[in-house]
């Protein structure tokens, strides 16, 4: 295949060299004339393990050329990869000038020739909506409909880390291909043939969002680890050993567990222990800002779920809340987010019924009793039998936990909302 690569920085140059090493022909284009001249003379513009060797081989075999213009780079190309920078602006938003400019150049170059099939793959990190709201309009302003129809636009985020970029290209954690309909790209999948990695085919916006989720999570992990490390130092603990114990749990700690967006956290352990850790950190002056934000974020999420539930409900609507306890099969209401949901529904004037077969208001004791009746003093009046729940007649059924799986409604309710799943 013939591949044009726009932007020959860390991502673009590494990508170009790796593609060329697989037998494809690469034409590299960069806005910096001095960089183009250096590359044409055989000088790699970056220092990255393994790249110079790949570059030297590709040049020697005639598979890497430097283009002087967008039109030259695109000549005969099957795929054009856009790898220009999207740095932070003064307000923290991405500066999209380079994306807009290279897209404009590509559009003008394509307008000079008859329409032909070409895949434009954006490897740059783009905010969600960029292809639909920036790239496509820029191209459409310079290309007639026939040219636009021949183009395939793709969001194809990269996962290259400096110092391991070559290895990461050939063994990525996954390949993400975002297209308008989310059905994948024949051209890109042919380019990546032979690379063993899960392939995710999705729409533009989900693909564009990938890098933000990844890098913010990486930042959150580093910040969390450092906060725990500061606490260990202040408390005289062995941070290395605490870390070893923590990461040894690959079932819950270092795993997909607790990372699926859905319901708020609650129950007898998480809120209590987070508060306790906050107090320990404040007491020893460790300043754990990430930990301090957890409970506030959780409260915001509880309200988001409530607003999602009632967004289209008329005033005074009837609501069945299935599952009041934090987990099914238990009667532990302590800090259950479902209790907060019930309280908000009642305060807003909705007619609420609660089905939770494990719960008997007359048998609650101790802190469980205190929490339940402080939040829901009419709890015993809210609870309904399975027969009443299944009879229906509710404007909305909220599935707060897996208790919903026990019910077989006689008539399907107008709406069932599973607040454990964000979709």
| 200 plus 348 within the same structural domain | no
pLDDT at 412 over 90: no
* CA 302/CA 337 separation, integer angstroms: 7
**Structural domain that includes position 413:** 304-418
Which are the catalytic amino acids?
269
* CA 367/CA 373 separation, integer angstroms: 10
| 66 plus 185 within the same structural domain | yes
Lowest-confidence pick of 65-74, 97-106, 342-351, 355-364: 355-364
> Domain end: 194, 210, 226, which one?
210
* CA 411/CA 423 separation, integer angstroms: 24
* Res. 115 pLDDT band, cuts 50 70 90: very high
Which two three-digit tokens encode residue 81? 């990869």
> Domain end: 210, 236, 259, which one?
210
Mean pLDDT for 32-42 is 96
* CB half-sphere exposure, 201, CA atoms < 13 A: 9
pLDDT at 135 over 80: yes
| 127 plus 11 within the same structural domain | yes
pLDDT at 59 over 80: yes
Q: Is residue 408 part of a domain?
A: yes
| 41 plus 179 within the same structural domain | yes
Per residue in 312-338, pLDDT tens?
Answer: 999 999 999 999 998 899 888 988 999
Contacts 24+ apart (CB under 8 A), 109-112: 109/69, 109/70, 109/71, 109/74, 110/74, 110/142, 110/143, 110/147, 110/151, 111/142, 111/143, 111/144, 111/147, 112/71
Per residue in 186-200, pLDDT tens?
Answer: 999 999 999 999 999
| 200 plus 343 within the same structural domain | no
pLDDT at 310 over 70: yes
Q: Is residue 174 part of a domain?
A: yes
Q: Is residue 317 part of a domain?
A: yes
* CA 95/CA 99 separation, integer angstroms: 9
Q: Environment class of residue 177 by beta-carbon count within 10 Å: exposed (0-12), middle (13-18) or buried (19+)?
A: buried
Q: Is residue 114 part of a domain?
A: yes
| 67 plus 176 within the same structural domain | yes
How many other CB atoms are found less than 10 A from the CB of residue 339?
24
Beta-carbon contacts of residue 381 (< 8 Å; ≥ 6 apart): none
Q: What are residue 163's phi and psi, to 5 degrees?
A: 85, -15
How many other CB atoms are found less than 10 A from the CB of residue 363?
9
* CA 421/CA 189 separation, integer angstroms: 31
Percent with pLDDT over 70 in the chain: 100
How many domains is the chain partitioned into structurally?
2
> Domain end: 192, 210, 228, which one?
210
Q: Is residue 411 part of a domain?
A: yes
Q: Is residue 250 part of a domain?
A: no
Q: Is residue 237 part of a domain?
A: no
CATH number at residue 359: 3.40.50.720
Q: Which pLDDT belongs to residue 353?
A: 97
Percent with pLDDT over 90 in the chain: 88
How many other CB atoms are found less than 10 A from the CB of residue 15?
24
* Res. 365 pLDDT band, cuts 50 70 90: confident
pLDDT at 27 over 70: yes
Strand order in the sheet with 151-155: 64-66, 25-29, 2-6, 79-82, 118-122, 151-155, 175-179, 199-203
| 164 plus 45 within the same structural domain | yes
| 144 plus 11 within the same structural domain | yes
* CA 308/CA 421 separation, integer angstroms: 12
**Are 367 and 408 a contacting pair, CB within 8 Å?**
no
* CA 177/CA 153 separation, integer angstroms: 10
pLDDT at 423 over 70: no
Beta bridge partners of 353: 320
Q: Nearest Cα to 300, choosing from 272, 269, 340?
A: 340
Which two three-digit tokens encode residue 227? 């906060």
* Res. 267 pLDDT band, cuts 50 70 90: confident
| 199 plus 338 within the same structural domain | no
Q: Chain-wide mean pLDDT for the chain?
A: 94
Q: Which pLDDT belongs to residue 372?
A: 82
* CB half-sphere exposure, 389, CA atoms < 13 A: 24
Q: Is residue 252 part of a domain?
A: no
Mean pLDDT for 268-293 is 92
| 200 plus 89 within the same structural domain | yes
């Amino acid at each position: 295949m013939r591949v044009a690569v726009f932007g020959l920085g860390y991502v673009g140059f590494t990508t170009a060299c790796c593609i060329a090493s697989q037998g494809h022909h690469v034409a590299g284009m960069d806005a910096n004339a001095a960089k183009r001249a250096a590359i044409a003379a055989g000088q790699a513009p970056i220092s990255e393990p393994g790249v110079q060797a790949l570059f030297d081989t590709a040049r020697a075999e005639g598979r890497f050329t430097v283009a002087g213009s967008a039109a030259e780079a695109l000549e005969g190309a099957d795929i054009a990869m856009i790898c220009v920078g999207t740095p932070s602006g003064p307000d923290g938003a991405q500066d999209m000038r380079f994306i807009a400019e290279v897209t404009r150049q590509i559009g003008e170059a394509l307008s000079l020739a008859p329409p032909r099939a070409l895949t434009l793959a954006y490897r740059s990190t783009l905010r969600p909506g960029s292809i639909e709201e920036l790239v496509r309009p820029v191209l459409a302003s310079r290309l007639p409909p026939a040219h636009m129809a021949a183009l395939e636009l793709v969001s194809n985020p990269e996962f290259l880390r400096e110092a391991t970029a070559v290895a990461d290209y050939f063994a990525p954690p996954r390949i993400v291909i975002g297209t308008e309909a989310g059905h994948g790209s024949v051209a890109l999948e042919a380019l990546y043939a032979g690379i063993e990695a899960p392939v995710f085919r999705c729409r533009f916006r989900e693909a564009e969002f990938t890098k933000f989720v990844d890098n913010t999570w990486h930042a959150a992990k580093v910040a969390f680890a450092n906060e725990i490390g500061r606490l260990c130092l202040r408390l005289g603990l062995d941070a290395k050993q605490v870390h070893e114990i923590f990461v040894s749990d690959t079932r819950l700690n270092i795993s997909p567990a607790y990372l699926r967006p859905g319901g708020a956290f609650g129950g007898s352990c998480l809120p209590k222990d987070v508060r306790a850790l906050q107090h320990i950190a404040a007491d020893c002056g460790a300043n754990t800002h990430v930990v301090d934000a957890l409970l506030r974020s959780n409260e915001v999420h509880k309200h988001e779920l409530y607003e999602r539930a009632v967004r289209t409900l008329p005033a005074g609507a009837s609501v069945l809340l299935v599952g009041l306890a934090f987990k099914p099969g238990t009667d532990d209401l302590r800090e259950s987010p479902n209790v907060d949901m019930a309280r908000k529904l009642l305060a807003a004037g909705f007619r609420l019924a609660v089905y939770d077969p494990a719960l008997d208001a007359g048998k609650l004791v101790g802190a469980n009793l205190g929490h339940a009746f402080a939040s829901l003093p009419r709890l015993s009046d809210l609870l309904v039998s399975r027969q009443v729940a299944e009879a229906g007649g509710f404007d909305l059924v909220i599935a707060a936990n897996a208790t919903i799986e026990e019910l077989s409604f006689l008539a399907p309710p107008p709406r069932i909302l599973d607040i454990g799943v964000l979709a």
